[in-house]
Amino acid sequence: MSDATDDDGVEEMKVRRVAGTGVPIRGDDIDTDQIIPARFLKTTTWEGMDEYAFYDARRDDDGELNDHPFNEYKGANVLVVNDNFGCGSSREHAPRALARWGVEAIVGESFAEIFADNCKSLGIPAATADPETVAELQDVIEATPEAGIELDVVDKQVTYGNETVDVSIDEAMHGALVQGIWDTVALLRSNMDAIDGTATDLPYVESR
């Protein structure tokens, strides 16, 4: 493919800004089994995964939907969480389920390392802030669910209401999102001509 096509493909994948409304999930150490229970991991596709996000937490003892934020804040796209979010097993299904539900960015006190890496691979920025900032942001969302929230990935800032606060984004995640190189599979597919050309020049690779 031409350089122009390659550049267009990368441009489409750049994640520099996420704006919308928020959904607060309070509590430390929310693990991946809470985000998506293990019994739903048998699916062979990602279709319908949004229905499984926080499946048990969203229901009462009779199986009826309760007042869980994922029932109350439909349409929100910025998830605001507390400490050590996404701990537990390394299942990719957890961020996949959140993304299918509509989450495009997450702001929290801290994230489990593998969970954050899985988010990066899906193009979901996971930004961290101090507990006071996170608590205030959750309070604002609960008081005014329609309030706008914007995560500036490039400058590492969150704006809500009249407030703009600095956040942290892991350097590897920041670079991958801003440059549009977080989806390695898509990058490979968009550069197949170059890959085939390189392979042709290698004496130990058989031509197809």
Residue 178 inside a domain? The answer is yes
pLDDT of residue 145: 96
Residue 138 inside a domain? The answer is yes
For residues 103 and 86, the answer to whether their CB atoms sit within 8 Å is: no
Expressed as residue numbers, the domain containing 32 is 3-200
What is the 3-class SS of the chain, one letter each residue? CCHHHHHHHHHHHCCCEEEEEEEECCCCCCEHHHHCCHHHCCCCCCCCHHHHCCCCCCECCCCCECCCHHHHCCCCCEEECCCCECECCCCCHHHHHHHHHCCCEEEECCECHHHHHHHHHCCCCEEECCHHHHHHHHHHHHHCCCCEEEEECCCCEEEECCEEEECECCHHHHHHHHHCCCCHHHHHHHCHHHHHHHHHCCCCCCCC
**Weakest-pLDDT range from 28-37, 75-84, 170-179, 181-190:** 181-190
Looking at the structure of the chain, the number of domains it has is: 1
**What pTM was estimated for this model as a whole?**
0.84
Asked if residue 118 has pLDDT above 70, the reply is yes
Q: Give the confidence band of 195 by pLDDT, cuts at 50, 70, 90.
A: very low
Residue 205 inside a domain? The answer is no
**Weakest-pLDDT range from 38-42, 43-47, 60-64:** 43-47
pLDDT of residue 4: 34
Asked if residue 28 has pLDDT above 80, the reply is yes
**Weakest-pLDDT range from 12-16, 27-31, 94-98, 131-135:** 12-16
What is the average pLDDT score of the chain? Answer: 88
Residue 207 inside a domain? The answer is no
Q: Distance between CA 195 and CA 178 in Å, rounded?
A: 24
Q: Give the confidence band of 171 by pLDDT, cuts at 50, 70, 90.
A: very high
Q: Which of the pair, 59 or 193, is modelled with greater confidence? A: 59
What mean pLDDT do residues 177-190 have?
A: 70
Q: Give the confidence band of 22 by pLDDT, cuts at 50, 70, 90.
A: very high
Q: Which of the pair, 1 or 95, is modelled with greater confidence? A: 95
Provide the CATH number for the domain around residue 154.
3.20.19.10
Residue 42 inside a domain? The answer is yes
Residue 206 inside a domain? The answer is no
Asked if residue 2 has pLDDT above 60, the reply is no
Residue 107 inside a domain? The answer is yes
Neighbours of 123 (CB within 10 A): 20
Q: Distance between CA 208 and CA 179 in Å, rounded?
A: 32
pLDDT of residue 94: 96
Q: Distance between CA 1 and CA 197 in Å, rounded?
A: 11
Residue 208 inside a domain? The answer is no
pLDDT of residue 206: 65
